[in-house]
Amino acid sequence: MENYWNKEIECMSREDMKKLQDERLVAQVKHVYENVPYYKKLMDEKGVTPDDIKSTADLHKLPFLTKADLRDAYPYGLLAMPLSECVRIQSTSGTTGKRVVAFYTQHDVDLWEDCCARAITAVGGTKDDVCQVAYGYGLFTGGPGLNGGSHKVGCLTLPMSSGNTERQIQFMRDLGSTILCCTPSYAAYIGETVKEMGLTPDDLKLKAGIFGAEPWTEEMRREIEKSLGIKAYDIYGLTETSGPGVAFECSAQKGMHINEDHFIAEIIDPDTGEVLPEGSKGELVFTSITKEAFPLLRYRTRDICVLSREKCSCGRTLIKMSKPMGRSDDMLIIRGVNVFPSQIETVLIEQGYAPNYQIEVDRVNNTDTLDINVEMSEEQFSDTIKGIQEKERELVEAIKTILGINPKVHLVSPKSIARSEGKAVRVIDKRKLHD
């Protein structure tokens, strides 16, 4: 039996949803144009006024907003409500450049928590559940978002925040946690610690986990499910768009339903900005349609994914997005094919290699070349040339299957790939040097 937090919205007919989106989009555009000079300037430059936006069909007329705009406008430049009406801020970690600060009115907090409540309900959560929130609390949106959603659903909420893993497991056992919310890497770590402590999934009451805020693979999902004896679900969101809960996975575990009554999703070609038809792979763009303090029109997430309106077995009619497959800023076009370093990384991990590699793209006689240097471990080293070439051939085959183009793979010594600040330099595009 599928449970819904808001069945009317989650299973709404496409026609009704479109009507709702049209109304809300018109109002949202008007709201930002009148209250945010930054947006007014962007729209004026593009020659668009709120009168030009009559429905979602006009969405493409609006200018894009990028992370650079958010940094430019820091801290108050995109604020659409008086500060006296705002009740909360959340912020990005700011690992690259300046932080982004997002503002919330009480209405904004409510709708965000409501989105998280839908996610918790979709994994089977009810007021009888014990929900352990092991996302970080504070400026990071993970903890506060799921905490709020858990309250709405009526779960007994354990605001653990992240870290102190043995204590996490202690509480999990003593209070019988049934739902775990944290990053997938932390869930995997908790799973390992459970084993190290001599426990098995049978010692826990956990049944489901909601894991987001970082990329993870299907293989990781299987590992976490096994080590904790649960079903593991994905959740998507960005601080800029409010936090986790913009999209959430259902019982089908095959893509995340986007809360379309609050966010309109588009897929664009990251190079041209052109809107691509449903089912195309491209950059995900979000437009908020209900936010008060920090609305976003056509915000470029830089996440590459695919949207699908295929009928879902859970009964929800909300459009689904795939797991992000990479970042648009990392995308390489090689022989006309879109290639993401993350795709190559996934193959390497699946084939038992550490993700220490370097991609070298060049152009020889007007043809793009793709060379991939991969660090091998001692176990992978063989004392025969044949043995090493065989390993290289296996990698070529596996990568070719995923990318559709033939790379050259070179196994190299451990730690031989140049690192910058501890991270291997992933891509060297020599074509740019020639232009």
Minimum Å gap between C-beta 390 and other proteins is 13
Q: How far apart are CA 75 and CA 140, in angstroms?
A: 17
Q: Which residue has the tokens 């069909």?
A: 57
Minimum Å gap between C-beta 413 and other proteins is 5
Q: How far apart are CA 399 and CA 385, in angstroms?
A: 21
Q: How far apart are CA 276 and CA 70, in angstroms?
A: 25
Minimum Å gap between C-beta 360 and other proteins is 13
- Kindly report the number of other CB atoms within 10 A of residue 111's CB atom: 20
Q: Which stretch binds Zn ion (CB under 5 A): 16-24, 84-92, 312-320, 356-364?
A: 312-320
**Which residues, 6 or more positions from 379, have their beta carbon under 8 angstroms from its beta carbon?**
none
Q: Give 386 or 434: the residue with its C-beta nearer to other proteins.
A: 386
Which residues here bind other proteins, judged by CB under 8 A?
A: 376, 378, 381-386, 388-389, 410-416
Q: Which residues are bridge partners to 248 per DSSP?
A: 235, 257
Report how far Cα 352 is from the mean position of its chain's Cα atoms: 25
Q: Give 11 or 427: the residue with its C-beta nearer to Zn ion.
A: 11
Minimum Å gap between C-beta 5 and other proteins is 54
For residue 426, report the phi and psi dihedrals to the nearest 5 degrees: -80, -40
Give which of Zn ion, other proteins, none residue 316 binds (C-beta under 5 to 8 Å, depending on kind).
Zn ion
Minimum Å gap between C-beta 169 and Zn ion is 31
Give which of Zn ion, other proteins, none residue 89 binds (C-beta under 5 to 8 Å, depending on kind).
none
Give which of Zn ion, other proteins, none residue 76 binds (C-beta under 5 to 8 Å, depending on kind).
none
Q: DSSP state, 224?
A: H
250 binds Zn ion (CB under 5 A): yes
Minimum Å gap between C-beta 393 and other proteins is 13
24 binds Zn ion (CB under 5 A): no
Asked if the peptide bond before residue 75 counts as cis, ω within 30 degrees of 0, the response is yes
User: Do the bridges between strand 208-212 and strand 231-238 make them parallel or antiparallel, or are there none, so unpaired?
Assistant: parallel
252 binds Zn ion (CB under 5 A): yes
Chain contacts with Zn ion (rule: CB under 5 A): 250, 252, 312, 314, 316
